[in-house]
Amino acid sequence: MARLTSREALERLRAEIVGRRDPGRKAVAVCAGTGCVAYGSVKLTEAFRGEAERLGMDVEVRPTGCHGFCERGPLVVVYPQKIFYQRVQVKDVGEVLERTVGKGEVIERLQYTDPVSGERATYEEEVPFYRHQMRLILGSNGQIDPTSIEDYIGIGGYTALSKALFEMSREEVLEEVLAANLRGRGGGGFPAGVKWKGCKEAEGTPKYVICNADEGDPGAFMDRSVMEGNPHSVIEGMVIGAYTIGSEQGYIYIRNEYPLALQRLRIALESAREHGLLGRDILGSGLDFDIRVNRGGGAFVCGESSALMLSIEGEVGEPRAKHIHMVEAGLFNKPTNLNNVETWANVPHIVNRGSGWFCSIGTEGSKGTKIFSLVGKVNNTGLVEVPMGITLRDIVYKIGGGIPGGGKFKAVQTGGPSGGCLPEGLLDLPVDFDELTRAGSMMGSGGMIVMDGATCMVDVAKYFLDFLRFESCGKCVTCREGLKRLWEITDRITRGEGREGDLELIEELSECVAEASLCALGGTAPNPVLSTVKHFRGEYEAHIREKKCPAGVCKDLIRFSIDGEKCTGCMVCKKKCPSDAIIGEKKKVHVIDQSKCIKCRVCYEACPKKWAAVVIS
Amino acid sequence: MESGQVDGIIERYGADKTALLAILQDIQGEANWLPREALTRVCERVGVPLSHVYRLATFFQAFSLEPRGRHICTVCMGTACHVRGAPMLVDKLARELGIPAGGTSEDLEYTLETVNCVGACALGPLVIVDGEYHGNMSTAKLDKVMKVLGVEAAGADAEPEE
Amino acid sequence: MAGVKYTVMGQEHEAERGASLLGELRKHGYVVPSLCYHESLTAYGACRLCLVEVRKGKRERLTTSCNYPVQEGIDVLLDTPKVARNRRMVLELLLAQAPGASQPLQALARRYGVKSVRFPAKDDEACILCGLCVRVCSEGIRAHALTFSGRGDRKKLGTPYSEPGVCVGCGSCAHVCPTDAISVEHDDRTRRMWGQSFELARCATCGASTMPVAQIDHVVSSTRLSRSYFELCDECRRHQSVERFNTVMGR
């Protein structure tokens, strides 16, 4: 493979790739994101290849990045018609090839059927989940094999880099990014252009650009999908950034828990180097820039920029005071620009289509799109990309399809451990950095967790506090001891040992933790507990005053019993009970011995749904 | 672990302080834990005190200073998984395997770990056994997963008696 | 020397740019409490007691002063209601964490108005994880024997693997510890700390115990001081110096 030593060479290669491709070519795209892989899509891909060969069919089988609709995986799209299939199994492979690929026939049982209207969708755009999205970043995932740089070039990849290097000055690129008002997608929402400017103008060399791919928010997997599905988009963004800022060395700090993304990234970096799109004299422009990959070690706090940089330096990730900004003195005390994966992935689009176009999407203060991981108690779980300004209600209901099992919406949690829970009354809030912060939550990196009546908000607060007290670096007394004590109080409340004055103490202590801690982990840590106390105070009071858990979650406040009218005496729960707490004989109503019951829920989940005789009260 | 093996890993990244995390990760990857002799060798070659490496090894959750089991069973404790019942899964696994979360069985067969999100949230709750992802778990479905590990859970094959 | 002008509650002062604000405040006699700061060691910012409010341009920010580098034009506010409120809570948290450190903590608590400790305080713990011992061991004596392990509310202080390790028995850690959390025991011939017994060297003249042999070994091997410097105890060394001086002066 010859290195591309000029912009013309890149264009020639692109023309050649596009020319080689027959738009009418038959192809089967199989989603190979982590979600679908867990559902068996690797075997599915192999099955397609094997069967196609056996049938002597000329069809391309292409594993692609995450399509986003994880709930319905494994996902398959048949080209050229772009027929969309969900929950495809190995046993369906032959039929898909013979009927759909061979004859263009649509197989009904593999189509998406709307659970409410019963309507079937043939193409991806018809599926309600996708219809309301604007998939600028994620859209390409379905079209390319992420391990093929040629696929990326074929859809226009590296056009933005070429344009920036040869048609624009560094100042002009900076102007575009500033005018676009691209705000950090990692959670901070800080204008990327302002960061770039600060770093570009800072004194000192070398300068560094970093991609924060640590994605520590539990419940968020947007960055993972971008890296697994389209790693080159991130690389392209970083090279453009390096050109603008004047950097020759970049880093991608990626979470240890993402082995597939790491693998795809390494392949992409290697092929970019081979093609002269990374390394020395990129495309013959004179720009030298290369990227190193650093793996995280399993520490949420290393998603904080100063901790991340210390980790790269070989130190523990204890954030440091940022009275001197990172853009002036960051990694190795040199000017450093750090941005999130999704932020970098937006850069090529802004360069190609201009800041004017970017600003036409979104709200006054929040431009462009945002990717969210819509998960939890929602029908259509998966990754969604929406224009800023869409309401939470539309995301949860129009895209998410509402709450499963006819449950009732209770809250939606955004912003991860730094964010808050918003109740039904706030569902009409638009997705916007400032609106969400004003409401007591925050945009965060994009995790959006839907909760229903079976979720206990005190338990949720305790969960986040438990997470944070372990992930805190432990330096500041306010964060380390404060979170420990906040957890203790919520724990007591969940065990029925809450006291009058606990809520006031939570509020007082939270204020200190937020105000007097060094970094944003401590600074935002009280948000989950504060927002739940604010919006669900009644639930807390039920736990404290009545020693009741209305959602039926807190073990010490609930009891499991068997409804005598429903129980048929089938013995399943008795056999599965780990503490021998169920008394009963065949065909006779079973009874739970409360003194032995450990509230493990096994009986509740084991009782066949047609009877559902186990009751939680 | 042989010192030659450790040296090989150090060569991969260079004997520099900035490479410490990567070196430790590769040692953990090959040995399944961080043996003390490996750490002392790293200190010698890279020129850092043991106190520093010990600090790194205990700060980052990815590392284990104790030998781990042949089978690693990881339960994701991300928010989405939590809301869908992950703590019950940990409890059941801890009960059936006889080890606490974070622990290893005495015969070094099993290690039960929890991790704060693997990013497969739509499939929650999730249990990873020896690198293989098992999604949409429930306490009932765990029985099958435990069979894979060679552990028979209480009432595993229980069927309703009509 | 790059001097910067700044004010403290309106009062003008000058300092070297980047100097520790806490250090500067104390030089001018302002009273700001702290537990984890030592002017000879890197500032850490763990105890959060040295809080002040800094006004820079339009922004006002609550910050610890030990690790705040003095900048041109800042206005520093001490003891504001915000500072006071947070300091009280910090002390309450510290008292709950380290009930065994009551001496210094109680004095501070009294001074700054802590009324009660509303969190359960379980044992005899005196360590507040301020890190002074770690810093003096690695930056001062440079034995690197102590370290933090773990993270968050499981963070602990000790030696690697909780074994005696490379400690040389100098006692600097106990000396800087603000809460007397490190135990050092002596008898005539030995010093015991961090699980190790250190044989004490003896003065060549009077036979008094001086410092651990291990400490002398360490200092000699890591600096240019010669072993002969450590042969005598402080008292005898002083006598020797005086005698030498008198000899030279012909007295």
Which structure tokens are listed for C174? 């106990």
A86 phi, psi to nearest 5 deg: -125, 160
Q: How confident is the model at residue A2 (pLDDT cuts 50, 70, 90)?
A: confident
Question: Is B17 within 8 Å of chain C by CB?
Answer: no
Which residues of chain B have a CB within 8 Å of the CB of A216?
A: 116-117
C137 to chain B: closest CA residue: B51
B80 to chain A: closest CA residue: A376
Question: Is C89 within 8 Å of chain A by CB?
Answer: yes
Which structure tokens are listed for A302? 């290393």
Evaluate if residue B28 carries a pLDDT over 60.
Answer: yes
Q: What is the pLDDT of residue B162?
A: 67
Strand partners, A582: A592
Q: What angle do CA A246, A249, A255 make, to 5 degrees?
A: 125
Evaluate if residue C228 carries a pLDDT over 60.
Answer: yes
Question: Is A440 within 8 Å of chain B by CB?
Answer: no
User: Span A23-50, mean pLDDT?
Assistant: 90
Question: Is B13 within 8 Å of chain C by CB?
Answer: no
Share of chain A above pLDDT 90, in %: 80
Domains, chain A, in order of start with CATH, read 23-125 (3.40.30.10), 157-358 (3.40.50.11540), 369-452 (3.10.20.600), 457-545 (1.20.1440.230), 559-616 (3.30.70.20)
Strand partners, C11: C8
Q: Quickly count: other Cβ atoms within 10 Å of residue C55's Cβ.
A: 14
Report the mean per-residue pLDDT for chain A: 94
Which residues of chain C have a CB within 8 Å of the CB of B52?
A: 144, 147
Which structure tokens are listed for A470? 């372990």
Distance CA A149, CA A14 (A): 11
Size of interface A-B (CB pairs under 8 A): 188
User: Span A338-356, mean pLDDT?
Assistant: 98
Question: Do B126 and B81 contact (CB within 8 A), yes or no?
Answer: yes
What is the tens place of the pLDDT at every residue in A534-546? 999 999 999 999 9
User: Span A34-43, mean pLDDT?
Assistant: 87
CB proximity list for A19: less than 8 A, separation 6 or greater:
none
Q: Mark yes or no for CB contact A481/C93 under 8 Å.
A: yes
Which residues of chain A have a CB within 8 Å of the CB of C44?
A: 475
Distance CA C42, CA C69 (A): 12
User: Span A181-200, mean pLDDT?
Assistant: 96
Least confident segment among A329-333, C101-105, C137-141:
C101-105
Query: Can you give the residue ranges of every domain in chain B?
Result: 3-59, 71-148
Q: Mark yes or no for CB contact C151/B50 under 8 Å.
A: no
Which structure tokens are listed for B33? 């834990």
Question: Is A218 within 8 Å of chain B by CB?
Answer: yes
Per DSSP bridges, beta strands A120-121 and A112-113 are antiparallel
Question: Do A334 and A207 contact (CB within 8 A), yes or no?
Answer: yes
The highest-level CATH class for domain B71-148 is alpha beta
Question: Do C153 and A472 contact (CB within 8 A), yes or no?
Answer: yes
* Out of C48, C63, C152, closest to residue A477 by CB: C48
Distance CA A604, CA B7 (A): 54
Q: What is the pLDDT of residue C1?
A: 54
Domains, chain C, in order of start with CATH, read 3-80 (3.10.20.740), 132-248 (no CATH)
* Out of A484, A488, A516, closest to residue C48 by CB: A516
User: Span B138-155, mean pLDDT?
Assistant: 82
Q: Could you tell me what percentage of chain B is helix, strand and coil, using 3-state DSSP and rounding each to the nearest 5? A: 50, 10, 40
What is the tens place of the pLDDT at every residue in B53-100? 999 999 999 999 999 999 999 999 988 888 888 999 999 999 889 999
What is the tens place of the pLDDT at every residue in C143-177? 999 999 999 999 999 999 999 999 999 999 999 99
Which residues of chain C have a CB within 8 Å of the CB of B36?
A: 161
Which structure tokens are listed for C101? 């450190």
User: Span C223-248, mean pLDDT?
Assistant: 90
What is the three-class DSSP state of C206?
A: coil
B64 to chain C: closest CA residue: C150
Question: Given the structure tokens 């009062």, which residue do they identify?
Answer: C11
Per DSSP bridges, beta strands A591-592 and B71-76 are unpaired
Question: Closest Cα partner for B27 from B17, A578, B37, A446?
Answer: B37
Question: Do A72 and A35 contact (CB within 8 A), yes or no?
Answer: no
Question: Do B86 and B124 contact (CB within 8 A), yes or no?
Answer: yes
How distant is the Cα of C223 from the closest Cα of chain A, in angstroms? Answer: 26
Predicted complex: ipTM over 0.90:
yes
Pick the residue of A449, A532, A560 with the most B CBs within 10 A to test the interface with B by mutation.
A449
User: Span A186-205, mean pLDDT?
Assistant: 95
Burial of C102 (0-12, 13-18, 19+ CB in 10 A): middle
Q: How confident is the model at residue C2 (pLDDT cuts 50, 70, 90)?
A: low
| First-residue to last-residue Cα distance in chain A | 68
